[in-house]
Amino acid sequence: MTKKQKDEFVRIDGRKRDELRKPYIIEAGVISKADGSAMVQSGKTIVFAAVYGPRKVIPKHLEDQEKALLRVRYNMITFSVPDRKKPGPDKRSMEISKVIEHALRRVVFLEDYPRTAIDVYLEVVQADAGTRVAALTAASVALADAGIHMRDLLPAVAVGRVNGEIVLDLNKEEEDVENAVDLPFAYLPSTDEVVLLQMDGITDVDEIHEMIELAKKGCIEIYKLQKRALQRKYERYLINE
Ligand code: ADP
């Protein structure tokens, strides 16, 4: 396929191959009780993040004298999918919590908060694929909103191959296409570091390189939206002072 053909390619929902879903919205400071919070909406996927901390560690024996204890809980609520999801943790949500926690450890300065806990709650209220990357995108905005010291914001997006085309930010319909490849990705634009890379499906090295290039572009776009969300929150705050 020539570059012109690639540029003109139209997806199931009318998007170009390198377009994020519509609407793609990030809001900071959406939960007043939390120390920091954020909402990310990518098309029909909607995730809320709430951060509590740094706070006292309970139970106390879990305290770390050198650094904060980072705890992440990813959860899909019962009405987030068309078939009611059984409430409570399952293997998938436990794995996703771990993966997100692992990625966040690369950006949060935990050593600045010894003997404390930082809790990150991620609630998927509507799931239409890409929930782990939306949750991670929301998490770093919520942590920044809580004033937690971090190297940078951490944007995340999924890329993949659908009907032979490399595409950005897959929705559920695209993810369900036969032989589709799905590659969740998180990236620090300031240092060009890949912080999360998972993959579902069969592909080859050339395609992986192409997917990573597209994912980096998507992350840079999301990074700008993350920063704008925080700016808007503080503008609101100053107006209401
Ligand atoms: P991600 O949401 O990060 O893409 P998966 O690839 O595991 O993670 O899930 C893809 C999509 O499948 C989810 O976003 C959701 O729309 C759907 N899904 C996941 N788990 C369930 C479930 N228990 N019941 C119904 N749909 C689900």
> Residue 142 has what pLDDT?
98
Q: Residue 4's pLDDT is what? A: 67
| Atom 27 of ligand 1: nearest residue by CA position | 81
* pLDDT at position 118 over 70: yes
What's residue 37's pLDDT? 98
CATH code, domain carrying 27: 3.30.230.70
Tell me, what's the pLDDT at 9? 77
When pLDDT is cut at 50, 70 and 90, the band that residue 48 belongs to is very high
Percent of the chain with pLDDT over 90: 92
* Residue identifier of the C-alpha nearest atom 11 of ligand 1: 129
In the reported structure, the alpha carbon of residue 168 is separated from the centroid of ligand 1 by a whole-number distance in angstroms of 17
How far is ligand 1, taken at its centre, from the CA of residue 204, in Å?
Answer: 24
- Give residue 127 CA to ligand 1 midpoint distance, Å: 7
Q: Which atom of ligand 1 is nearest to the CA of 45?
A: 14
Count: domains in the chain: 1
- At residue 241 the predicted structure's pLDDT band, cuts being 50, 70 and 90, is low
- 87-99: average pLDDT: 96
How many Å lie between the centroid of ligand 1 and the Cα of residue 70?
A: 25
* C-alpha of residue 26 to centroid of ligand 1, in Å: 21
Q: What is the pLDDT of residues 176-219, one digit of tens each?
A: 999 999 999 999 999 999 999 999 999 999 999 999 999 999 99
Q: Which protein residues are within 6 Å of ligand 1, measured from CB?
A: 81, 83, 85, 92, 127-132, 172, 175, 184
pLDDT at 76: 97
For the segment 139-170, what is each residue's pLDDT rounded down to a tens digit? 999 999 999 999 999 999 999 999 999 999 99
Ligand 1 center to residue 137 CA distance, Å? 17
pLDDT(5) > 70: no
Pocket test for ligand 1, best of 44, 47, 78, 81 (most atoms within 8 A of CB): 81
Mean pLDDT of the chain: 95
Query: Across residues 55-84, what is the average pLDDT?
Result: 96
Q: What is the pTM of this model?
A: 0.96
Mutate to test the pocket of ligand 1, among 45, 75, 76, 162 (most ligand atoms within 8 A of CB): 76
Instruction: Indicate whether 52 pLDDT > 80.
Output: yes
Is the pLDDT assigned to residue 239 strictly greater than 80? no
For the cut 90, the answer to whether the pLDDT of residue 240 exceeds it is no
The whole-number average pLDDT for the span 104-132 is 98
Order of strands, edge to edge, in the sheet holding 69-76? 24-28, 36-42, 45-56, 116-126, 69-76
* Domain span at 216: 3-240
Which residue has the CA at smallest separation from atom 23 of ligand 1?
85
Rounded average pLDDT over 124-142: 98
